[in-house]
Amino acid sequence: MPNNRKPVPKSQKEIMNNQINPLVDPETGETRGNPNDPQNFNQFNSNTQRGVSHNRSEELSSKGDKYKQFSVGIQDVDEAILFYFENIIKPTVIQNGERIAVPLVYGSPERFKTIQKDGFYRDKKGKVMSPIIMFKRDSLNKNRSITNKLDANNPHLYTSWQKSYNNKNFYSNFDLLNNRVPTKQFIANVVPDYVTLDYSFIVQTYYIEQLNKIVEAINYASDSYWGNPERFQFKASIDTFNTINELNQGQNRVVRSNFTLKMYGYIIPDIIQKDLNSVKKFNSKSKVTFGIETTSGLEYVSSKKPKSVTQFATSTATGGGSGGGGGVDPVILTYLNTNIQKEGTYVNSTTITFPSGWLVAPGGLPTTSINSFSIFINGALVEGTGIASFTQISGVTTLVMNPTELGYSLDSTDEIIAIGKFSS
C-alpha cells in the first residue's frame, strides 16, 4: 500500500547537525555527539565531570510571557548616531541669510566612492548636494578587557532582573499559616559582547565658515553617550578632524572635513544558537519555615478549651481533678522543657569546658548524660562518635573530642555550643 503521508521538511538545526562530525573523547574514544547540542550531564560518569550540564528543570516555558528576550544589534548603534545628530546636535548653517538644517545620510559604497572621487555628492538631477554630512561603518573590533561569556555553546555569565509577578505565587492558606517565602522569577540574559565600531564621516559645505560651525558642534558632543535615552546609548569618541579646502581650475570649490568616530557599544544578537544554549529565565528557591511547637500533655492537646500551662501544671499536681488518677509532675515538666545553651571555653585542641553543671533527672526518667545534650561546632552538629567524653565536676562540664572520628582538631577561633539539661 503506498504511503500518502506528506514528507515533513527538516529544520535548519537538523540539516546543520547532519553536517557536523561527532565529537570523540580523546581519552576514552567515546562519542560525545554534536558539540552544539547540549547533552544530559547525568548520562555521563559524574566522577569524570565530562559532558555539558543540562538541567531540564531550568527550562521554563515562555508561553504567554509578555517579556521579550533582550537583544542589541549593530543596527542599534547605527540608529543611535542618526538619532543623536537629528535630535541633539542638530547641525545647521547660514545660507543666503537663512538657517538651514544639514542632512545626515548613510553612505552606501556608491555614494561614498562618489564623494571621495569627485569631492562632492550630487542628487539624481546632477545638482551638487551641499551642505551635507555622510558617514559609513568601517570596522568592528571586539573588546575582551571588560567581560566575556566564556563559551557560546554553554554560556556561563548572565545578567538578570526580577519580574514583578510570578504565577507560581498563588494564594493559599497553607502559605499564609506557615510563613512561606514566595519564589521569585528572574529574566536572564547572557552578558553582551563589548565592541568598538569605527565610522568614517565626511562633512561638505560651500564655505569654510559653515564647516567650522558644524565641526564645533560635533566636537562639543564628543566623549558623551549618544542614542535615544529610551532605548540604547553608546559612548562616542572623536580625536581628529581633517579639513580640506581646494579650488581647482575648471572644477567646483571643495570645502570638507573628514573625521573618524569611535562608538563603544555592546551586542546581544537574536540568533538560534543563543536561544538554544542560554538560560532565558529561572525561579528562586521557595522556603517554608516551621517553628518548634511543644505541648505539656495529652489533656492540653485534646481539650476543646485548652488550659494555660500554669493551670494545667496546677491541676495535674493536685491529682488531676474529679476524675482522679493524677497527671504529669511539674518537676518532670520543668526538666523536660529545659534546654539551656552554653558557649564553651577553649582549653586545647581536644578539650572544651562549659561553666555549668547538669540538672538531676527526676525519678522515673533516664539519668542525665551526653544523650541529653547537643553539641555544635561552628554551627555544625557533632555526631556521638566524635565525642570522647562529656563529664561534669563541681559545676563545670568538660567536653573531650575525638579528632580521629571528628576529622579535625579544635582551634581557639572555633565556636562550640552545647544545648541541653544545664543546671543554670
The whole-number pLDDT of residue 178 equals 60
The whole-number pLDDT of residue 41 equals 42
pLDDT winner (highest mean) among 6-15, 37-46, 146-155, 328-337: 328-337
- CA–CA separation, 93 vs 253, rounded Å? 17
- CA–CA separation, 313 vs 307, rounded Å? 10
- CA–CA separation, 396 vs 324, rounded Å? 42
Which range among 282-291, 340-349, 393-402 shows the weakest confidence by mean pLDDT?
282-291
Which range among 107-116, 137-146, 150-159, 312-321 shows the weakest confidence by mean pLDDT?
312-321
Which range among 75-89, 125-139, 403-417 shows the weakest confidence by mean pLDDT?
125-139
Sign of CA dihedral 346, 347, 351, 356: negative
Would you give the distance in Å from CA 239 to the centre of its chain? 37
What is the set of domains in the chain, with CATH numbers?
12-55 (no CATH), 68-288 (3.30.2000.10), 298-420 (no CATH)
Distances (CA, A) of 385 to 4, 15, 330, 336, 415: 73, 61, 34, 25, 19
57's grid cell = 528543570
Q: What mean pLDDT is reported for the chain?
A: 76
- CA–CA separation, 342 vs 421, rounded Å? 10
The whole-number pLDDT of residue 324 equals 44
What does the pLDDT look like over 326-350, one tens digit per residue? 566 788 888 888 889 899 999 998 9
What does the pLDDT look like over 232-249, one tens digit per residue? 899 999 999 998 876 655
Phi, psi of 415 (to 5 degrees): -100, 115
Give the DSSP letter string of 176-219: HHTTPBPP-EEEEEEPPEEEEEEEEEEEEESSHHHHHHHHHHHH
What is the strand order of the sheet 380-381 is part of?
340-343, 416-420, 373-377, 380-381
Sign of CA dihedral 268, 271, 274, 275: positive
Q: Closest by alpha carbon to 220, among 243, 236, 203?
A: 236
Is the confidence at residue 51, as pLDDT, over 70? Answer: no
- Buried-state track 229-240, b at ≥16 Cβ within 10 A, e below 16: eeebbbebebee
- CA–CA separation, 357 vs 396, rounded Å? 5
210's grid cell = 559653515
- CA–CA separation, 412 vs 222, rounded Å? 60
- CA–CA separation, 351 vs 269, rounded Å? 62
Which range among 24-28, 89-93, 183-187, 226-230 shows the weakest confidence by mean pLDDT?
24-28
Q: Closest by alpha carbon to 33, among 42, 44, 24?
A: 24
The whole-number pLDDT of residue 245 equals 77
The whole-number pLDDT of residue 352 equals 92
- Buried-state track 390-419, b at ≥16 Cβ within 10 A, e below 16: beeeeeebebebeeeebeeebeeeeebebe
Distances (CA, A) of 284 to 112, 158, 289: 53, 15, 16
Is the confidence at residue 413, as pLDDT, over 90? Answer: no
The whole-number pLDDT of residue 18 equals 72
- CA–CA separation, 279 vs 59, rounded Å? 8
Q: What percent of the chain has pLDDT over 70?
A: 66
Q: State in Å, rounded, how far the first CA of the chain is from the last one.
A: 92
